[in-house]
Chain A
Amino acid sequence: MIAEIGHLALWLALFAAAGQVFSGALGVTLRHGILMAAAPAFALTQAVCAALAFVMLALAFLRDDFSLAYVAANSNSLLPEFYKLAAVWGAHEGSFLLWILIMSLWTLAVAMDTRLPLIAFKTAMLVVMGALSCGFLLFSLLTSSPFDRLLPFSPVEGADLNPQLQDFGLIVHPPMLYLGYIGFSVAFAFAIASLWLRPPDAETLRWLRPWTNAAWCFLGLGIVLGSWWAYYELGWGGWWFWDAVENASLIPWLAGTALIHSLAVSEKRGFFGQWTLLLAILVFSFSLLGAFLVRSGVLISVHAFASDPERGLFMLIFLVVVVGSALLLYFFRFPPSIAGNYGLWSRETFLLTNNHLLAAAAGTVLLGTLFPLVYESLSGGRKLSVGPPYFNLTFLPLAGLLALALALGPLMRWSRTPVRIILRQVAWLTGISLTAGLLLPLLLSDAFNPSLMLTSALAFWIFGGLWMVIRHESFVRNPSASRVGMCLAHAGFVVCLIGVGFSSTLSQSKNVLLNSGQETTLAGYHFRFEGVVRQRGANYLADVGILKVSPPPLLGWFSRSAIDLRPEKRLYPVRGNVMTEAAISPGLWLDLYATLGSPVGEGWSMQLHYKPFIRWIWLGGVLMALGGLIPLFGRRYRRVARES
């Protein structure tokens, strides 16, 4: 019964979404007040129905209704309740229901937002978002309904949730990502409504900015969660793999970052309007493309869902309709260009540079991700994979250039900055960054290390620039939420840069074979192996290695106090599985990380890792997201946009 209610609710949501599209479109065309007012009501209905369907599926999980194919495949009566709930979005069908729910919630949020009193414009946005909902709902109902029954032979017990998914990081990861992906549909709908009705003015563009920021933050946090999970769970210390699905989330994030910046110019100065609208279309298109890549099975990835070509075909058609018609509309209603009147040394120039670099970065990642498919098509089915060497070679230089521009951009004035001032600032920054770039690496490493020097020089270049921004009188006089957020996000970029640069150059690891009582040294740290003890866990037997670690004597504040690392090798007798539990001692400055291998003669083989600054990567990501979030609470975006 529960499943039938859920299924019915999904159909009702589809009718509501269709109602939203038709009443809205008719209302906008005829400028009919009541028809336009119906669209938000339909949006509310749709959200309620989607929520109902979601709750029904959750109930089916909690009640162990294994007559539902989806529940039977992804749950088990012995699974803890918390994981039963998480299993709702543990596989394709249910996660797509979550996708639908999130879409309807974003739609509802737009419908309820009273800061945009342009009724026709907002209704046009609701038409676009309703049409997207229709597509998603049809996809779910026709090809991947989570409410299909296994009748008449329903299993007594379910197959259990994939053990890898039974983890907190992985449970929050998809909802965050989806909030981001789908959040960009607001900007997409905004662009379509602008092309349809009227070019956007400063007031409406200002209205869009917090929406874009919010989506961008969620996406960023989702990416950080995924990367962090890979680090602690996969057990060999990697944090980014240039996997196709990771790339699929990185591309819209990069394009979204560009959009946030170009929106600033469009709102404040009225330039780049064409480009901003195109970006708004592209960011969401990349999100859809990502969803296609994950769910159609064209790419082989650790994330891929069990695939089915019918689904792939449906999604491809949907992609063609949505993105194709958006781009064609853009072509036919190409907004008039406003010649930007600004000097070379202006904030406009630097924001344009930012956009070029970010667009190039997104393009590079996109090319690397799709190239295996291109090759496969052209070579008649031969496979090829594009790996880290390509991405490091193309992506890292762009990130470096971005870092160079990033320090100067916020120091520039709109329109024109006196060269005298710039020269003085650049001289200061060069001084700071060269000094730091030469000195800091000496402190951290004894060998001559160019990439370390480059990273520290860039980091101090940006920190110096931020310092100047914060010290500047306009900031001191009015530290608005937008400015604080900007500085925080930029600081997050540096922190992330330091994390990536330092951890990749300074990390050390070694494989050793130690008898109990023996010692070894890694990066100055003494590891003394005390032997292995046998322990009994709740449902496993563990061999626990004990490593006493003492820090090098000379590093002072930078080093760690003496610790014990206890890597484990667990045998789960019921499952017959042997699992390796890495011992990670996390720290702001460095992680120490040990995994236990197998007994060899009298001793044990093990792997020791020294990973300085690795936490900075995620810390930076979180700071960037926070920086994007803070402006939402400022006064600036609370104002109602006036009809101009």
Chain B
Amino acid sequence: MVKTKHWVPLLPVLVFVGIVLILGRSLHLENRDTLPSAMTGLPLPSLVLPSLSGGPVNTRELKGEVALLNIWATWCPTCLAEHQYLNQLTQDHDLPVYGVNYKDDPVKARAWLAELGNPYVLNLVDNGQLAVHLGVYGAPETFVLDAQGIIRYRHVGELNERVWSSRLGALVESLREEAGVR
């Protein structure tokens, strides 16, 4: 009786160890930032949206090359951090990045690009029509499109050196090879 009583207080410790193991594992799980996207494997929905530079663009035209589709906004703090990396990425890798300026003020957006540099091939102005189809949680999010304009991967959150070197870089390379073979 006495002995059982003595071991009871170990129970919280054990439960806690379990919780820590789970938390630690989810912290290091490879695809921590990937959300299953229902759109993976499907082409972009066909929409005609205005672009920041002027004329309307059909989303189906965004193909021909492996590319990134980056959802961003000037009201999004993380996008500011991400922006510098995007500038560097497009310089280093010769990779087209299509921007989706999400629920934003086009005037501010243009000023932001003029000031901080423009890594984008073009920028769609989206008040949510496209984002709803893509199931966007918030900015920033980045989708990887293959040469046929099909969504192959979704990354939620900031795109940075770590994300690129651990996942996106390799994926983009393999998609490019795939496109080259065809």
Give the residues in chain B near A324, CB-CB below 8 Å. 13, 16-17, 20
A255-277 vs B, CB cutoff 8 Å, 1 = contact: the mask equals 00000000000000000001000
- Hey, which chain B residues are within 8 Å of A577, CB to CB? 103, 105, 127
For residue B112, which residues in chain A have a CB less than 8 angstroms away from its CB? 159
16 other A-B residue contacts (CB within 8 Å) besides A159-B75, A300-B137, A576-B106: A73-B80, A73-B81, A159-B76, A160-B74, A162-B76, A278-B9, A298-B26, A309-B162, A316-B24, A316-B27, A331-B13, A337-B5, A377-B22, A381-B30, A574-B107, A576-B125
**A91-B77 contact given A327-B16, A328-B13, CB 8 Å threshold:** yes
> In terms of DSSP, what is the predominant structure of the interface of chain A?
helix
A188 vs B75: C-alpha distance when bound (angstroms): 39
Cross-chain pairs A/B with CB under 8 angstroms, 30 sampled? A69-B81, A157-B111, A159-B77, A278-B12, A285-B16, A289-B19, A292-B23, A296-B27, A298-B27, A306-B77, A306-B158, A316-B23, A320-B20, A323-B16, A328-B13, A331-B9, A331-B13, A370-B22, A373-B25, A376-B29, A377-B25, A377-B29, A381-B31, A383-B35, A575-B103, A575-B108, A576-B104, A577-B103, A577-B105, A578-B127
B28 interfacial by beta-carbon distance below 8 Å: yes
Cα distance, A297 to B34, chains bound together (Å): 12
Q: Assuming A298-B27, A327-B16, A331-B9, is B22 touching A576 (CB within 8 A)?
A: no
B-side residues, CB < 8 A to A, are 5-6, 9-10, 12-13, 16-17, 19-20, 22-33, 35-36, 74-81, 103-108, 111-112, 115-116, 125, 127, 137, 156-158, 162
CB pair A157–B27 under 8 Å, yes or no, is no
5 closest A-B pairs (Cβ-Cβ)? A73-B77, A575-B105, A306-B78, A377-B25, A298-B26
Within the assembled complex, what's the spacing in Å between the Cα atoms of A155 and B108? 14
Question: In whole angstroms, how far apart are the Cα atoms of A370 and B12 in the complex?
Answer: 16
Residue tally, chain A, CB below 8 Å to B: 52
Question: In the assembled complex, how far is the CB of residue A149 from the closest CB belonging to chain B, in whole angstroms?
Answer: 14
A157-B116 Cα distance, complex, nearest whole Å: 11
Whether a CB of chain B sits under 8 angstroms from the CB of A392 is no
Identity of the chain A residue whose Cβ is nearest the Cβ of B28 in the assembled complex: A309
Q: How many angstroms from the CA of A542 to the CA of B108 in the assembled complex?
A: 22
> Inside 8 A of A316's CB, which chain B residues have their CB?
20, 23-24, 27
Say yes or no: A327 contacts B80, CB within 8 Å.
no
- Residue contact A327 to B13, C-beta cutoff 8 Å: yes
A74 touches B77 (CB 8 A): yes
Mark contacts of A296-319 with chain B using CB atoms, 8 A cut-off: 1 yes-contact digit, 0 otherwise: 111010000011010011001001
- State the Cβ distance, A597 to closest chain B Cβ, in Å: 15
A529 to chain B, nearest CB (A): 26
A374 an interface residue at 8 Å Cβ cutoff? yes
CA distance A370 to B24 in the complex (A): 12
Please give, as numbers and ranges, the residues of chain B lying within 8 Å of A574 by CB-CB distance: 105, 107
Rounded to whole Å, the gap between the CB of A212 and the closest CB of chain B is 19
The minimal Cβ–Cβ distance linking B134 to chain A, given in whole angstroms, is: 16
Contact check, B22 vs A374: say whether CB atoms are below 8 A apart.
yes
**A330 is an interface residue with CB less than 8 A from chain B:** yes
How many whole Å from A311's CB to the nearest CB in chain B? 10
- Distance from B27 Cβ to chain A, minimum over Cβ atoms (Å): 5
A382 CA to B6 CA in the complex, in Å? Answer: 40
Q: A601 to B9: give the CA distance in the assembly, Å.
A: 69
Partner of B32, one of A69, A298, A320, A334: A298
Contact residues of A between 352 and 407, Cβ < 8 Å to B:
370, 373-374, 376-377, 381-383
Most buried by A among B13, B16, B81: B16
Q: Give chain A residues whose Cβ lies under 8 Å from the Cβ of B32.
A: 297-298, 309
Q: Is A282 an interface residue (CB 8 A)?
A: yes
CB-based contact B9/A334 at 8 Å:
yes
In Å, the complex CA distance between A54 and B81 comes to 23
A156 within 8 A of B: yes
Question: A72 at interface (Cβ–Cβ under 8 A)?
Answer: yes
Judge whether B75 and A156 touch: CB under 8 Å.
Answer: no
Cβ-defined contact, B75 with A160, below 8 A: yes
Whether a CB of chain B sits under 8 angstroms from the CB of A517 is no
Compute how far the CA of A278 lies from the CA of B10 in the bound complex, rounded to whole angstroms.
11
Q: CA A161 – CA B80 in complex, angstroms?
A: 12
* Chain A 532-551 per-residue mask, 1 if CB under 8 angstroms from chain B, else 0: 00000000000000000000
Question: A153 CA to B173 CA in the complex, in Å?
Answer: 32
Q: Are A373 and B22 interface neighbours, CB within 8 A?
A: yes
In chain A, what residue has the closest Cβ to B6? A334
The residue on A at minimum CB distance from B36 is A383
Whole-angstrom distance between the Cβ of B62 and the nearest chain A Cβ: 21
* A161→B24 CA distance, assembly (Å): 32
**Residue on B with the closest CB to A319?**
B20
Instruction: For the complex, give the distance between the alpha carbons of A282 and B116 in Å.
Output: 47
Q: Is the pair A157, B22 in contact by a Cβ cutoff of 8 Å?
A: no
With the chains together, A155 CA to B77 CA distance in Å?
Answer: 13
Q: Is A152 interfacial (CB-CB < 8 Å)?
A: no
